[in-house]
Amino acid sequence: MKKNLIAFSANRALILAVLITFAMGACKGKKKVAETAPPPPPVEQVKETPPPAPPAPAPEEVAAQKLEGSFNQIAAAGNASIANQSIEETLRMFSNQESPVLIVIHEENGIKDYDEPTTIRKYLEYLKDTKKNLNYISDIRLDANGKVSELELRRK
């Protein structure tokens, strides 16, 4: 009986070892199948388009901004030589020194009343003398060369 018991235990151990080997082989096979599975489809990324760049300012707007700065610089000049230098720099922006400057004193129903017309040189000298810039540019006209040919001002 001892032989049967040993033989029976050996058979059982052998069968148990084979089953464990199959079980481990089956687990490794599943891992390989799981590892070789195709990756999930990529998620589409929605790219946000940046907002469009603001349009470039018109030449009239650029000239008006430069002139406003020049007018303020002339009015705030510490002495006459600095003001005269600023006046000469500003006059280079105009087609000529006699370019008209119109100052609107009243407007009703689209009809404008102007102060006495003046020239740009006289207006710049006025700014230098009074040291006050009481007007702002309401309309500006440029010639074919991009220089200011006419200026319309209004009270601030």
| pLDDT tens per residue, range 16-50 | 666 676 666 655 555 555 556 677 777 777 777 88
User: What was the pLDDT predicted at 5?
Assistant: 47
Residue 151 lies in a domain: yes
Residue 25 lies in a domain: no
Which residue is associated with the tokens 């087609």? 95
User: H helices within the chain, ranges in order?
Assistant: 2-35, 59-75, 80-91, 120-130
Provide the number of structural domains found in the chain: 1
For residue 80, give the CATH number of its domain: 3.10.450
Residue 16 lies in a domain: no
Which residue type sits at 100?
P
% helix / strand / coil in the chain, to the nearest 5? 45, 20, 30
Q: What is the pTM of this model?
A: 0.66
Residue-range definition of the domain harbouring residue 76: 59-155
